[in-house]
């Protein structure tokens, strides 16, 4: 059944996932806004170490460490969203890891519970990924239906499993599976006209059946957390539909790690429901580019672009 929000919507906050981490992320927020400083210090206290020091002054290599990457992205996004009050979202949506920050910002879960989930997500996933020889790859320039047919054919020919991890926009997907399967798929897609078919520097097979053990372990933690009625709805990755019921949101989050990220459909559904302004809550313009390609007539910005943040530097070099 297609769901729609039951009130007029205009803007959405969209939260990117892993990969948007940058050296120095959050330092300007910490130095200029007490609300951000409180969030960073709460994270430091909860983690028992100063993740803020890694974010502000650590190297790219340190930020890439599993124990740092996902908490850093999560903390930054929550701090950025919570710092400003000029714009409040009518709806929220997160791409993969970004869904956890979105759930904090819309009041479904507490900041500490979100941080605990993100930390465990990183550690559990790393352990599960070490049990398999898997990989991920970006494929650009081929129709989704064509890729679906070909990965099925490649599986039948080779026995190597391949899955869709992310649908990032028309003709833009991320596939995942065995290392051999991904190599075979990339080689085939390049020959068949893909603009790009390249492995990603990511160890593991996120958003695939390979993560079933992680789903079970993380699911236990998710079930132990209180999910409240959100102040605004969220479009979730697993089905791309809008949700306000805490039980539905919790159940979708449990299966989040083994299911594809339906970002293409999430954006379409937000526009279907009246969203005309998209504000990316992140360090760069990753999601903005995806949305703008699909809907060039919509207002697509970074939250850092609004006047409230004119007195701090952005991560675009402005």
Candidates 12, 52, 95, 96; catalytic one: 96
Hey, CA dihedral for 177, 182, 185, 190, is it positive or negative? Answer: positive
Contact 198/249 with Cβ under 8 angstroms?
no
CATH 3.30.70.250 domain position(s) in the chain: 134-199
Architecture, CATH, for domain 11-129+209-309: 3-Layer(aba) Sandwich (3.40)
Low-confidence ranges of the chain (pLDDT < 50): 311, 313-318
What's the pLDDT tens digit per position in 40-49?
999 999 999 9
Which residues are bridge partners to 166 per DSSP? 174, 261
At 73 the pLDDT is 96
Contact 207/160 with Cβ under 8 angstroms?
no
The mean of the pLDDT values for the chain is 92
Phi/psi at 252 (5° precision): -70, -35
At 59 the pLDDT is 92
Which residues are bridge partners to 94 per DSSP? 15
Tell me how far apart the alpha carbons of residues 167 and 179 are, in angstroms, rounded to a whole number. Answer: 20
Q: Is 207 a catalytic residue?
A: yes
At 240 the pLDDT is 98
Q: Is 59 a catalytic residue?
A: no
At 309 the pLDDT is 59
At 286 the pLDDT is 93
Candidates 52, 125, 207, 256; catalytic one: 207
What's the pLDDT tens digit per position in 4-41?
777 787 999 999 998 888 899 999 999 999 999 999 99
Query: Domain 134-199 is in which class?
Result: alpha beta
At 203 the pLDDT is 72
Whether the predicted model's global pTM rises above the 0.85 cut: yes
Q: Is residue 65 exposed (0-12), middle (13-18) or buried (19+ Cβ within 10 Å)?
A: middle
């Amino acid at each position: 059944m297609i769901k729609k929000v039951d009130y007029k919507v205009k803007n959405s906050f969209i939260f990117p996932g892993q990969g948007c981490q940058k050296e120095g992320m959050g330092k300007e927020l910490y130095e200029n806004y007490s609300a951000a400083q409180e969030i960073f210090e709460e994270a430091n206290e909860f983690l028992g170490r100063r993740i803020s020091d890694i974010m502000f002054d650590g190297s790219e290599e340190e930020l890439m460490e599993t124990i740092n990457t996902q908490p850093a992205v999560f903390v930054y996004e929550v701090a950025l969203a919570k710092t400003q009050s000029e714009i409040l979202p009518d709806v929220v949506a997160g791409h993969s890891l970004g869904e956890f920050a979105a759930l904090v910002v819309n009041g479904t879960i507490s900041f500490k519970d979100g941080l605990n989930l993100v930390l465990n997500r990183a550690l559990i996933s790393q352990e599960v990924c070490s049990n398999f020889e898997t990989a991920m790859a970006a494929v650009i320039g081929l129709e989704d239906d064509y890729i679906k047919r070909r990965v099925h054919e490649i599986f039948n020919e080779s026995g190597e499993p391949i899955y869709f991890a992310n649908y990032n926009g028309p003709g833009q997907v991320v596939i995942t599976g065995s290392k051999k399967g991904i190599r075979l798929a990339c080689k085939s897609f390049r020959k068949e006209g893909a603009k790009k078919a390249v492995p990603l520097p990511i160890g593991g097979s996120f958003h695939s059946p390979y993560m079933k053990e992680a789903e079970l372990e993380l699911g236990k933690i998710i079930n132990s957390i209180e999910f409240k009625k959100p102040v605004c709805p969220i479009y979730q990755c697993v089905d791309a539909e809008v949700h306000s019921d805490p039980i539905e949101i919790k159940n979708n989050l449990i299966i989040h790690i083994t299911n594809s990220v339906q970002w293409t459909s999430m954006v379409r559904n937000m526009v279907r429901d009246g969203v005309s302004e998209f504000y990316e809550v992140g360090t760069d313009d990753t999601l903005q580019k995806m949305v703008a390609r699909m809907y060039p007539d919509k207002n697509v910005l970074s939250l850092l672009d609004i006047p409230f943040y004119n007195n701090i530097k952005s991560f675009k070099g402005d």
